Amino acid sequence: MLAYLRTLLPVLALSTLAGCGSTYQASHGARFEIDAAKEIDDDDVKKAFEASPQLGDRSRVAYFLFDDDKTDDVERMLKGSRHVDSVYRIPTLLVTGKRRFQETSPWQPPQEVSVKKLRLLAARAHADVLVVFDHGWKGGGANPLVALNVLVLPILFVPFLENETQSYAQAHLIDVRNGYVYGEVSAEVKGGSKYTTIWARTPKDVFEESWPQVLSGVQRDLDRSLGPSKAATPAAAPETAAPPKPSDG
């Protein structure tokens, strides 16, 4: 009986752990704020109303990622846009103070990332547009078949896990000079299955497989958003009837 319990306990522990889904967000160590409330005053609001789009055919882009996980892919994507002239990556060290191999404690409060600071760093690189990029995924867990895992054999073959994964990427586009928000472009892909065995792909594997599709969706919308700003067309003057000709009589 004791030997059986020794075998059963690790199985139950594995089943319990499998019931917990996984989540990854690149912005875990930092909190993105359009502008911290303590920095906003009436003058900021006035300037926001006065700002207007001013993009040309090609723009210099400065971008910021919350970590280095997908830097090369994002930079390649930005350089591939037909409306991007040059690309500059804003270093994480200058924004949050995080060094290259520094580990972030999960109990450490997130650093506030102010767009005002990012705009200033982008301006120092003479960029026209600031792109703040984020990505992540959520998935995993156990399905009702986990109840069958009382013995060792079923846990190896019963599809009691799920690796359904929701992957996303999004980019916020902001004018460096006047803070005008051009908008947000995003893409989302779902993959995986509700019934898999322990030998199946992990949610992270599913995310990595869907990543090219997610990034392609962002690039497609980014190309449209970075196009030249269209000036407002003045309304045509209403047509007036010609005055009647004087009669000969």
Q: What is the CATH number of the domain that holds 73?
A: 3.90.950
Distance CA 49, CA 189 (A): 35
| pLDDT reported for residue 5 | 40
Kindly state whether residue 238 falls inside one of the protein's structural domains: no
**How far is CA 113 from each of CA 14, 66, 70, 150, rounded to the nearest angstrom?**
38, 9, 19, 48
- The lowest-confidence range among 44-53, 119-128, 153-162 is 153-162
Kindly state whether residue 57 falls inside one of the protein's structural domains: yes
**Domain range holding 137?**
2-35+50-225
Residue 74: CB atoms within 10 Å: 22
The model's pTM: 0.73
| pLDDT reported for residue 95 | 79
Kindly state whether residue 170 falls inside one of the protein's structural domains: yes
Task: Name the domain count of the chain.
Answer: 1
Question: For residue range 199-210, what is the model confidence (pLDDT) as tens digits?
Answer: 888 889 999 999
List strand residue ranges (DSSP E) for 164-247, in order.
Answer: 165-175, 181-191
Kindly state whether residue 241 falls inside one of the protein's structural domains: no
| pLDDT reported for residue 23 | 82
Task: Calculate the CA 160 to chain-centre distance.
Answer: 31
Kindly state whether residue 245 falls inside one of the protein's structural domains: no
- Higher per-residue pLDDT: 149 or 232: 149
- Higher per-residue pLDDT: 69 or 8: 69
Q: How confident is the model at residue 149 (pLDDT cuts 50, 70, 90)?
A: low
| pLDDT reported for residue 110 | 58
Kindly state whether residue 178 falls inside one of the protein's structural domains: yes
Q: Are 106 and 24 in contact (CB under 8 A)?
A: no
- Higher per-residue pLDDT: 155 or 136: 136
For 180, residues 6+ apart whose C-beta sits below 8 A from its C-beta are: 51, 52, 53, 54, 174
- The lowest-confidence range among 62-66, 95-99, 245-249 is 245-249
Identify the CA nearest to 87 among candidates 11, 2, 194, 171. 171
* Amino acid letter for position 74: V
pLDDT at 59 over 80: yes
Kindly state whether residue 240 falls inside one of the protein's structural domains: no
Q: How confident is the model at residue 92 (pLDDT cuts 50, 70, 90)?
A: confident
Kindly state whether residue 197 falls inside one of the protein's structural domains: yes
DSSP string, 109-165: PPEEEEHHHHHHHHHHTT-SEEEEEEEEEEE--B-GGGGGTTSHHHHHHS--B---E
Residue 74 tokens, joined: 């994002």
Q: How confident is the model at residue 170 (pLDDT cuts 50, 70, 90)?
A: very high
Rg value, the chain, Cα:
27
Average pLDDT over residues 220-235: 70
